[in-house]
């Protein structure tokens, strides 16, 4: 039963990131495998029929794990990792590591397979100053040679065409090209040539090898192609062919690109190649047998993408051409003639909310009738992968942008149509306009509608009950979305680093809408703000995404409906100046949208929405609107007050000298947090009141001095309105990264203890004392006494990657901390264990209060892992949201994977158990009811009889 329940609301989706290299398993005809290497340092294998993951290897984050190249040969996948640090061979069948070899130092340039007598036995790896040859079977180095003049010559390419030599191509930019041939046997330099090439700046970007070892280069300046036989014995010369002579013209400002294909490493490349002349202009060219004349086979314009594919002896070219606004055609052409192959058209649907096609990966195969069939993988700019099969069927799509979620929010789903109608009919406006009689009619009609809906619901239940369990489909679409009874199902709005937004159903994990924002810079910072929730029917909910360029600070706003993903027609304000801070005010305009204030670098304020109503409200409230700005580069925290003319005045300033410490993080409290109890009842029945300052900021600093003895972590609690430093604590001999949570009256932080070399948790709690200063309302301006601060520290036996606190509707349920561990586990740690009032010595009072005696080490109990065996790779953030049930908190963990679940910190105290005996209870109730009826009747008869007597 439990596992079944788990299956319904626990979801995990695994992602790999943006594809850098993709290969189809061409080892056998019926293979379903697809291999990807991604920018997230992941090597993965997919089932090409379903898009499901077979296996994936998650390597280290950062440059140490970057995949430089992925080569596939037979059952071996060769990979150079970490900028030329390691050479690895994987078994593609099972995904196991065959071997790993450590390479010599030096930055990676190129690698290729090397074959002798038609069998591929080696792999050559070219580095900045060295070339090495390794055996495919065990990774052992056959030979390694230093490259001559590597300080002046930039070696960029390595080529082998199945002969006895390996050729290395290097260039001295705008001077000459160097060709070195190494003997396969012992790495001896057989010949070394230098060719004048004053026009050439990079081999990598402008040259390819085609045909029988002919180097083909393109030069955008002279608008010419250059050919050069690599293997030539005597002093070779580049042969220039002007593009004009072929009737070809390069688009203005476009750097032409050459595309070639070497189907098998033991043979030389085909003599056909593509030349891209413009963003949508490709030409298929052929090098004639003489080796220096070129024939144009076919002109493709418009054509977005081209790719070669080989099966058996046939090489084909796949070309993607635009068809109309919403679709592209992909056709196959014979590579040696340029003729179109019949019945090879597939249609690639262009998603208007997605990115443009970016790359084609084609898998060609021979059909039974010896014609060529193919499947194609299309990568789009938004990192999505689409797999298409003939005849034009999209088999699957993977949204790999979700491997890098930056921020998210959960939005309540709208009410159903009927519920909404009820709300609307009895809304304020309606009541004023209508008289008594129409209102009665309306009420009656609504009741009829409700009855109708209820009957339909009953019928559906009855119908579904008769179906076998597995067949009931819970297809979620945008149309059928509606809030459930306990508001457990919500819309997750996710913002990814690539600039693609997603709306995901929290229950099923299915993507309901997506929207790709083009022109988002890679270093953009996002902030997602819910301006209007779903609660204000008929006004649609509204979210605003603030996209800020990290370097310039220039920002733009994207306003959208979080349920449907559609861009709102409300025009966001133009923001010509860099934005320092954005804040959401509790002020609402006449359409119930909260007001967003944007502060620019001249401390001027822009309001959004900025209707007359809003501006008027702002003017009235100006003197009570305070905000703070943090300049962590200057160690400066300052507070401002709004003036009536929407300018600001600086009212406080705190400066933490950057020579001593730097601000690493600042956190306020979550605005939607509710605290149920104002205080804690102590053992002697007195109450210790919590210091609940909604404006409190927790500022965490790290010392600039990194010496283990002198390093420290500073924790400042600053009132965001008055700038008053409420508490200032220094954790000595401590270093970051600091993870912390600030909520209610406590701050929990985790740091690295440099002296004891371990991770530690510390908790700070603030109390007003046994008497409240002003119990009715909290004002930062009127709280003269500082709170009492209690603090305790514990050893935590694991490093952590992220931390968040659970959140429930009314704040009655006890709190837990959700801790993401590097192992991918998510720990639900009861806050009870992080309580500075845990006594060293157990007393009567502490026992009365249920305080756990102090122990220096925080336990990790395996039953606290909320994701069991479903680890979340590289957890980056945890998002919590309250549900309609007080006991239940919705949790989403994101990183490489996305994991949704629910947690019940105080168990499900407000839910009846599944095995609750309804029959017994109702039969007892009924029996009692009848018993009362009968005994009443009997008593009446008896009374009557007595009266007669």
Footprint of another protein on this chain (CB under 8 A)? 623, 638, 641, 643, 649-657, 660-661, 703, 705, 709-710, 712, 714-715, 718, 722-725, 727-732, 753, 760, 762, 774, 781-784, 789, 791-795, 840-841, 854-857
**What CA–CA distance (Å, rounded) separates 803 from 880?**
11
How far is the CA of 322 from the CAs of 208, 346, 360, 438, 492, in angstroms?
27, 12, 14, 57, 34
Dihedral angle of Cα 793, 794, 800, 802, to the nearest 10 degrees: -40
Q: Classify 874 in phi/psi space as left (phi over 0), alpha (psi -120 to 50) or beta.
A: left
Rg (CA), the chain: 35
Q: Measured from the CB atom, is 521 or 634 closer to another protein?
A: 634
Residue 71 three-state SS: strand
Residues 6+ apart with CB under 8 A from 501: 493, 494, 495, 514, 515, 516, 517, 545, 558, 560, 565
CB of 816 to another protein, least distance (A): 21
**What CA–CA distance (Å, rounded) separates 57 from 72?**
16
CB of 483 to another protein, least distance (A): 43
CB of 782 to another protein, least distance (A): 4
Q: Measured from the CB atom, is 344 or 793 closer to another protein?
A: 793
**What CA–CA distance (Å, rounded) separates 288 from 272?**
9
> Using an 8 Å Cβ cutoff, are 713 and 734 in contact?
yes
Q: Measured from the CB atom, is 206 or 648 closer to another protein?
A: 648
Q: Measured from the CB atom, is 343 or 709 closer to another protein?
A: 709
**What CA–CA distance (Å, rounded) separates 593 from 585?**
10
Pick from 490, 492, 598: nearest CA to 547: 598
Q: Measured from the CB atom, is 470 or 784 closer to another protein?
A: 784
The two tokens of residue 553 are: 């600070």
Q: Measured from the CB atom, is 227 or 661 closer to another protein?
A: 661
Q: Measured from the CB atom, is 592 or 854 closer to another protein?
A: 854
> Using an 8 Å Cβ cutoff, are 213 and 231 in contact?
yes
**What CA–CA distance (Å, rounded) separates 751 from 922?**
56
CB of 553 to another protein, least distance (A): 22
CB of 810 to another protein, least distance (A): 30
Task: Please count the CA atoms within 13 angstroms of the CA of 234 that sit on its side-chain side.
Answer: 1
CB of 786 to another protein, least distance (A): 8
Count of CB atoms within 10 A of residue 520's CB? 20
Q: Measured from the CB atom, is 227 or 793 closer to another protein?
A: 793
CB of 753 to another protein, least distance (A): 8
CB of 729 to another protein, least distance (A): 4
Alpha helices in 696-843 (DSSP H): none
Q: Measured from the CB atom, is 482 or 634 closer to another protein?
A: 634
Sheet harboring 393-399: ordered strands across? 357-366, 372-380, 384-389, 393-399
> Using an 8 Å Cβ cutoff, are 412 and 490 in contact?
yes
Residue 65 three-state SS: helix
**DSSP assignment of 104-128, as one string?**
PSS-EEEEEEEEETTEEEEEEEEES
Q: Measured from the CB atom, is 777 or 920 closer to another protein?
A: 777
**What CA–CA distance (Å, rounded) separates 58 from 80?**
15
CB of 154 to another protein, least distance (A): 47
**What CA–CA distance (Å, rounded) separates 82 from 37?**
13
Maximal C-alpha separation, the chain = 142
Q: Measured from the CB atom, is 9 or 758 closer to another protein?
A: 758
CB of 705 to another protein, least distance (A): 6
CB of 637 to another protein, least distance (A): 8
Residues 6+ apart with CB under 8 A from 275: 218, 225, 248, 256, 257, 258, 259, 282, 283, 285
CB of 79 to another protein, least distance (A): 44
Q: Measured from the CB atom, is 492 or 663 closer to another protein?
A: 663
CB of 595 to another protein, least distance (A): 22
Q: Measured from the CB atom, is 436 or 841 closer to another protein?
A: 841
Q: Measured from the CB atom, is 21 or 640 closer to another protein?
A: 640
Residues 6+ apart with CB under 8 A from 491: 410, 411, 412, 413, 481, 503, 504, 505, 506, 512, 562, 563
CB of 675 to another protein, least distance (A): 22
Pick from 399, 526, 404, 498: nearest CA to 40: 404
CB of 648 to another protein, least distance (A): 11
Q: Measured from the CB atom, is 418 or 792 closer to another protein?
A: 792
Q: Measured from the CB atom, is 91 or 649 closer to another protein?
A: 649
Looking at residue 153, the DSSP 8-state letter turns out to be S
CB of 579 to another protein, least distance (A): 24
Q: Measured from the CB atom, is 777 or 919 closer to another protein?
A: 777
**DSSP assignment of 886-924, as one string?**
TT-EEEEEESSSEEEEEE-TT-STTS--TT--HHHHHHH
Q: Measured from the CB atom, is 417 or 657 closer to another protein?
A: 657
Give strand ranges (E) for 17-116.
19-24, 33-38, 42-47, 53-58, 67-73, 76-81, 86-91, 97-102, 108-116
The answer, yes or no, to whether the previous bond of 62 is cis (omega within 30 of 0) is no
CB of 727 to another protein, least distance (A): 8
Task: Give the phi and the psi of residue 927 in degrees, each rounded to 5.
Answer: -60, -45
Distance from the Cα of residue 161 to its chain's centroid:
42
CB of 5 to another protein, least distance (A): 39
**What CA–CA distance (Å, rounded) separates 915 from 937?**
36
């Amino acid at each position: 039963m439990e596992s079944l329940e788990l299956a319904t609301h626990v979801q995990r989706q695994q992602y790999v990131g943006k594809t850098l290299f993709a290969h189809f398993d061409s080892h056998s005809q019926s293979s379903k495998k697809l291999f990807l290497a991604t920018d997230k340092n992941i090597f993965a294998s997919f089932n090409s029929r379903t898009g499901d993951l077979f296996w994936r290897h998650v390597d280290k984050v950062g440059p140490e794990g970057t995949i430089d190249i992925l080569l596939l040969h037979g059952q071996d996948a060769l990979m150079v990792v970490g900028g030329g640090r390691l050479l690895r061979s994987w078994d593609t069948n099972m995904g196991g590591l065959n071997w790993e070899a450590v390479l010599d130092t030096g930055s990676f340039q190129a690698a290729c397979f090397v074959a002798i007598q038609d069998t591929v036995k080696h792999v050559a790896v070219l580095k900045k100053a060295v070339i090495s040859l390794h055996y495919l079977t065990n990774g052992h180095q056959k030979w390694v040679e230093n490259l001559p003049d590597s300080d002046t010559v930039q070696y960029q390419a390595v080529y082998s065409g199945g002969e006895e030599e390996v050729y290395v191509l290097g260039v001295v930019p705008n001077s000459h090209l160097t060709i070195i041939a190494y003997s396969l046997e012992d790495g001896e330099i057989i010949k070394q040539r230098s060719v004048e090439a004053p026009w050439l700046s990079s081999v990598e970007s402008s040259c390819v090898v085609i045909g029988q070892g002919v180097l083909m280069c393109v030069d955008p300046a002279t608008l010419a192609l250059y050919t050069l036989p690599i293997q030539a014995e005597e002093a070779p010369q580049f042969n220039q062919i002007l593009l004009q002579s072929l009737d070809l013209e390069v688009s203005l400002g476009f750097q032409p690109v050459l595309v070639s294909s070497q189907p098998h490493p033991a043979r030389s490349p085909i003599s056909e190649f593509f030349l891209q002349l413009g963003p949508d202009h490709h030409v298929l060219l052929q090098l004639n047998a003489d080796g220096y004349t070129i024939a144009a086979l076919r002109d493709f314009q418009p054509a977005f993408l081209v790719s070669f594919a080989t099966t058996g002896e046939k090489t084909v070219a796949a070309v993607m051409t635009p068809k109309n606004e919403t679709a592209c055609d992909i056709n196959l052409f014979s590579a040696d003639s340029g003729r179109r192959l019949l019945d090879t058209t597939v249609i690639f649907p262009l998603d208007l909310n997605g990115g443009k096609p970016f790359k084609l990966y084609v898998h060609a195969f021979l059909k039974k009738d010896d014609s060529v069939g193919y499947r194609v993988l299309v990568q789009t700019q938004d990192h999505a992968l689409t797999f298409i099969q003939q005849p034009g069927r999209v088999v699957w799509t993977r949204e790999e942008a979700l491997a890098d979620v930056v921020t998210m929010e959960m939005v309540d789903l709208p009410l159903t149509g009927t519920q909404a109608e009820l709300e609307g009919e009895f809304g304020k406006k309606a009541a004023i306009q209508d008289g008594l009689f129409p209102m009665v009619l309306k009420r009656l009609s609504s009741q009829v509608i409700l009855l109708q809906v209820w009957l339909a619901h009953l019928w559906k239940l009855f119908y579904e009950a008769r179906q076998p369990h597995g067949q009931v489909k819970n297809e979620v679409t945008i149309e059928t979305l509606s809030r459930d009874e306990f508001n457990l199902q919500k819309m997750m709005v996710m913002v990814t680093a690539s600039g693609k937004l997603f709306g995901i159903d929290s229950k099923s994990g299915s993507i309901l809408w997506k929207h790709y924002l083009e022109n988002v810079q890679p270093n953009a910072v996002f902030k997602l703000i819910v301006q209007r929730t779903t609660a204000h029917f008929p006004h649609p909910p509204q979210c605003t995404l603030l996209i800020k360029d990290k370097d310039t600070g220039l920002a733009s706003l994207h306003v959208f409906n979080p349920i449907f993903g559609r861009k709102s027609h409300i025009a966001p304000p133009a923001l010509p100046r860099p934005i320092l801070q954005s804040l959401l005010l509790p002020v609402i305009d006449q359409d119930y949208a909260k007001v967003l204030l944007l502060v620019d670098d001249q401390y001027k304020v822009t309001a959004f929405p900025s209707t007359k109503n809003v501006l008027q409200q702002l003017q009235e409230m100006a003197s009570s609107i305070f905000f703070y700005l943090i300049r962590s580069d200057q160690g400066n925290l300052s507070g401002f007050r709004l003036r009536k003319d929407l300018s600001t005045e600086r009212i406080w300033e705190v400066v933490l000298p950057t020579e001593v410490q730097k601000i690493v993080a600042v956190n306020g409290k979550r605005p939607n947090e509710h605290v149920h109890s104002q205080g804690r009842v102590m053992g002697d029945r007195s109450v210790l009141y919590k210091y609940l300052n909604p404006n409190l900021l927790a500022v965490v600093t790290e010392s600039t001095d990194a010496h283990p003895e002198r390093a420290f972590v500073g924790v400042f609690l600053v009132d965001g309105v008055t700038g008053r430093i409420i508490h200032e604590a220094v954790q000595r001999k401590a270093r970051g990264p600091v993870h912390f949570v600030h909520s209610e009256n406590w701050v929990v932080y985790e740091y690295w203890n440099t002296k004891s070399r371990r991770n530690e948790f510390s908790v700070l709690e603030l109390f007003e004392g046994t008497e409240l200063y002003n119990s009715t309302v909290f004002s930062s301006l009127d709280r003269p006494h500082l709170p009492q601060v209690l603090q305790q520290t514990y050893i935590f036996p694991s490093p952590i990657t992220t931390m968040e606190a659970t959140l429930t509707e009314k704040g009655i349920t006890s709190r837990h901390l959700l801790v993401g561990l590097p192992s991918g586990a998510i720990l639900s740690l009861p806050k009870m264990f992080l309580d500075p009032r845990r006594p060293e010595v157990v007393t009567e009072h502490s026992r009365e209060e249920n305080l756990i005696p102090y122990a220096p080490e925080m336990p990790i109990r395996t039953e606290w892992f909320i994701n069991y065996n479903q680890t979340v790779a590289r957890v980056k953030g945890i998002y919590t949201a309250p549900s309609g049930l007080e006991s239940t908190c919705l949790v989403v963990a994101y990183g490489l994977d996305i994991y949704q679940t629910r947690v019940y910190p105080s168990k499900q105290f407000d839910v009846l158990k599944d095995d609750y005996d309804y029959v017994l209870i109702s039969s007892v109730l009924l029996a009692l009811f009848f018993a009362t009826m009968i005994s009443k009747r009997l008593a009446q008869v008896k009374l009557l009889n007595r009266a007669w007597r």
